[in-house]
Each structure stands twice: as structure tokens, then as C-alpha cells.
Structure 1
Amino acid sequence: MDPATIIGLVVAFGAVLVSIFLEGASPMSVVLPAPMMLVIGGTLGAGLIGSTLKDAIFAFSSLPKALMFKPPRTTDAVETLVGLADRARREGLLALEDAAKDIDDDFLKSGLQGAIDGTDPEDLRGILEDRVNTKRTRDKGAAKYFADMGGYAPTVGIIGTVVSLVHVLENLNKPDELGHMIAAAFVATLWGLLTSNLVWLPLSARLKRASELECGHMELIVEGLMSVQAGANPRLVGERLRSLLPEEPAKKEKAAA
């Protein structure tokens, strides 16, 4: 699991709490049920209005992946593909049937099975690339859903503030309570901005990044499987696949030296 999202949430909300304490206020001064309900409920409703129920369900079902996402081990996939290419070159594709049973990656396993079954290379590539594109499209929809909510939240917060200020103007005859009511009115704007910039937009960015990594991993597997099916030289397969991996600057400098 990559803990970046959880760490980020703790740091972000921790900074907000610390700033409240440094101002000499109480956290309960901003934890008000009415504006929180308006902002969160209004944002969720606006998200549903601009989308479909199926999209909303898929977006929220993607949240565990955003929180518990584990980057794919692409370097391990490269080594597996090189080993498969070596065995296929020596013993033929049919010899890989036993090896396919030990592969944990479902995408690699199904693609390899297609190659073993004698699927035409162009057809196999088309099938695998369609699966990658379908995943990318679905993930993009989930990320867009949260990005849209991030756009709605601040405006919904302003609506909550306006509603509260109307209540303030109705009670101008109670000067002792005006300060508290005005402060409470701006809590809705606070929650709109806070949920937008610390929850919805970061979750959208997280889902986009997770999708990029997973689709890149799948695309590399497609190239590797095509080479295995073609009976390419294992050394060349390894070099080509490793050239597709993003290298760290330090490794690049070391290789250049």
C-alpha cells in the first residue's frame, strides 16, 4: 500500500486544526452540523445531478483504491516476461501453459493464455489494448466525478453562507448574538473550500495517477506479450521493456557515467 493519501489527509487536516488552536479558537467553532450538512449534502446532490447513478456508484467504489492503492510492480513484470520469452524461444509457446498457472497478474495471465491458444497477434493486441482503453475510460470517469464535486463544493459553501446571512439580517434586533451568527455564517464557505481542496480534488488527482500507473503497466505487458508470441530474443525483449520504464534521475546519471 502506498500511504501518500492517508498521510496527506492527516497532514492537511492536522494543519487546519493547529491553525485553529494557534488562533485561540476551538475546533468545535467550525464543526457546525447545519453548514456541514448543507455543503456535503449539496455537493453530493450536485454531483448526482451532473452525472449518472452508475457513474456515482463506480466513483465511490473506487475510493478504497485511492486510499489503499499499491503501485504495480512493473519491474517484476519485465523480469517475468523476459523469462517467458526465454522459455518460449527454447521450448515453444505451448511450454508456457504451466508457467501461466503461477502468474498472479490477471491481465498478464489472460494475455499469455491467448497467445498460447494461438490467437492471431493483431487480434490479441487489439483485445488487450481495448481492455486498457476501457479501464482508462472508466477510471477517467471516476476521477472526473470527484473533480466536478471539487468544483461544486465552494459554490455550495457560498450558498450556505448567504442563507445564514439572511438569518443574520432577520435578527438585527439582537446585537449581542450578531457576532456569533456572522461567524457561523462563514463556516459554510470554510467547509466548501476545505472539502474541495483537501478531499474531492486530491481524490480526483489520486485516481488519475493510479490509473496512469496501472494503464502504463498494462501497456508494457502488451508489448512484452507481443514479443513473447513473436519468439523475440529474450535479451532484446528485456532491453526494450526496460527502456519503457521511467528511470530515477540518479540511475540515469549512473548509466551515463
Structure 2
Amino acid sequence: MDKLSLLGLMLGFTAIIGGQYFEGGHISSLLQPTALLIVAGGTLGAILLQTPSATFARGIRMVSWVWLPPTIEQKKLIEQIVYWSHLSRKEGLLALENQIPAIKDEFTRKGLQLLIDGADPERLRDILDVEIDVFEEEWRSAAKIWESAGGYSPTIGILGAVMGLIHVMENLSDPTKLGAGIAVAFVATIYGVGLANLVYLPISGKLKHYIGRMVAAREMLIDGLVGIAVGDNPRIIESRLRGHIRQ
């Protein structure tokens, strides 16, 4: 589990609630279900309108990466590629065929199969680069729903504020209803801006980070397979691949 993400989320909300408390305000004044309904519901509606269903579903599933990051074992992959390089130099490319059944990742399986089939190094790179482009586009589009939510949320918050002020103006003759309307007006803005900057945009940034690492791992695999195809020395391949490692 990524404890830093959990700590960051807790720290952000604690700072805001704590600031409200130390300023002498009531924490209960920040709890406005109507304002939350306007902001969360409006933001969700906008996201659903702009996003295809498959992309939306993928983006929702990806949010688990914030606390349970995907496994990206770059060093282990380098060791595997170097082993394939040694094996191919000793026994030929066909000896790598026995390695395929143990590989779970479909992209790695395809790349290794192309290598075994004797694909030209440049052709191998071109084919796999296309797959990487499609992969990156699909996953970045899914992560973008959170970035979009960060853009819509403050605007919907302002919309909630205007609605609250309209309610206030309609009830100027009844002072008992003014407080609730004003509360919704200002709290809706807080919800909109707070959710955008404490939740939606940070989630988007972290998801993009992991997508970048996954793409880097695939590019590293291509580099290694091309090195094997052209007959590079395993040590040279290993040295080059270590330059791809990202934290």
C-alpha cells in the first residue's frame, strides 16, 4: 500500500478542518449535503457526458493504483532480457521459444514471439511501438477523467454558490431561511475547489506517473529485444537498459 498517498489525503483534509476549528468556526458548518450533492453530482454528470463508457470504467478501476500501485519490476525485467540474450547467443533464437509459456504479460509474449520468428529489428520496433502508443492513449484517456473532474468541480461549485444566493434572494422576507441558503452558497464553492485540488487533480497526477513508468518498462523491453535481434553483447544490452530505470 502507498502510505504516502493516504497520509497526503488525510493531511489535506485535516489541515482544512483544523483551520476551520482553530479560527473559531463550527466544523458542522462545512457539512452541507445539498452542496455536496450539487458539486459531486454535477461533476459526475459532466464526466459521464464527455467520456465513453469503457474509458470511464477503466478510469474508475485505476483509482485503486493511488493506494495499491501496479507492480512494475524494471530490474527483474532487465535480468530476464539479459538472460534471453545469453541464451540466444549460446543456442540461437529458437531456444527462446521455451520461455514463452512462463510469460504472463501479453505485450512481452508478443515481442518475444516476434523476435523468435526472425522479425527485422526495425520492423519489430515499429510493431511494438504502435502497441505502446495505443496502450498509452487508452490509459491516459482513462486517467484524464480525474483531471477533467478537477476542471469541472470548481465551476460546479460556483454554480452551487449562485444557486444558494438565488435561494437567499428569494427568501429575503423570511430571515429564518437566509442562513441555510448562504451556507450552501459558500460551502458549495469550498467543496468544488477542495475536491478538485485535494482529490481529483492529485489522483490524475499519480495515475499519469504510473502510466509513464509502465510505458518506460515497455520501451525498455523493446530496446532489449532489438539488442538481442542485432546480436549486441549482453553486457551492452544490460548497460543500455539500466538507463531506462525510473523511480
**How far does residue 106 in structure 1 lie from its aligned partner after superposition?**
3.9
CA shift in 2, pair 1:204/1:82, >3 Å = same
Counterpart of 1:24 in 2: which secondary structure?
coil
Counterpart of 1:61 in 2: which secondary structure?
helix
**How far does residue 246 in structure 1 lie from its aligned partner after superposition?**
4.8
Task: Give the alignment of 1:21-60 within 5 angstroms.
Answer: 21-60=21-60
The aligned counterpart of 2:163 is 163
Q: Which moved more, 1:135-144 or 1:55-64?
A: 55-64
The aligned counterpart of 1:229 is 229
- Hey, what's the Cα distance between the residues in 2 that align with 1:198 and 1:145? 15
Task: Give the alignment of 1:75-86 within 5 angstroms.
Answer: 75-86=75-86
- Hey, what's the Cα distance between the residues in 1 that align with 2:3 and 2:82? 31
The aligned counterpart of 2:121 is 121
Q: Which moved more, 1:144-153 or 1:18-27?
A: 18-27
Q: Which moved more, 1:175-184 or 1:154-163?
A: 175-184
Task: Give the alignment of 1:128-143 within 5 angstroms.
Answer: 128-143=128-143
For residues 4-63 of structure 1, the C-alpha deviation after alignment (integer angstroms, 9 at most, x for no partner) is 433322222222232233233443321211110010011111122333333323322322
Q: Which moved more, 1:114-123 or 1:206-215?
A: 114-123
The code of the aligned residue for 1:69 comes to P
The two structures, once aligned, show a CA RMSD in angstroms of: 2.2
Whether contact under 8 Å (2:213, 2:246) holds in the other structure is no
- Hey, what's the Cα distance between the residues in 1 that align with 2:161 and 2:134? 41
Whether contact under 8 Å (2:217, 2:244) holds in the other structure is no
The code of the aligned residue for 1:44 comes to L
Whether contact under 8 Å (1:146, 1:203) holds in the other structure is yes
CA shift in 2, pair 1:7/1:161, >3 Å = same
What TM-score, normalized to structure 2?
0.89
The aligned counterpart of 1:254 is none
Task: Give the alignment of 1:2-13 within 5 angstroms.
Answer: 2-13=2-13
**How far does residue 238 in structure 1 lie from its aligned partner after superposition?**
1.0
The aligned counterpart of 1:252 is none
- Hey, what's the Cα distance between the residues in 1 that align with 2:9 and 2:60? 17
**How far does residue 135 in structure 1 lie from its aligned partner after superposition?**
1.1
Q: Which moved more, 1:197-206 or 1:212-221?
A: 197-206
**How far does residue 183 in structure 1 lie from its aligned partner after superposition?**
2.8
Task: Give the alignment of 1:193-204 within 5 angstroms.
Answer: 193-204=193-204
- Hey, what's the Cα distance between the residues in 1 that align with 2:110 and 2:23? 58
Counterpart of 2:70 in 1: which secondary structure?
coil
What TM-score, normalized to structure 1?
0.86
The code of the aligned residue for 1:54 comes to A
**How far does residue 180 in structure 1 lie from its aligned partner after superposition?**
4.9
Post-superposition, which runs of at least 4 consecutive aligned residues in structure 1 deviate over 6 A?
none
Counterpart of 1:186 in 2: which secondary structure?
helix
Number of equivalences: 247
In structure 1, list runs of 5 or more residues that go unmatched: 248-257
% same residue: 37
- Hey, what's the Cα distance between the residues in 1 that align with 2:65 and 2:59? 10
The code of the aligned residue for 2:170 comes to E
**How far does residue 104 in structure 1 lie from its aligned partner after superposition?**
4.7
In structure 2, list runs of 5 or more residues that go unmatched: none
The aligned counterpart of 1:250 is none
CA shift in 2, pair 1:115/1:133, >3 Å = same
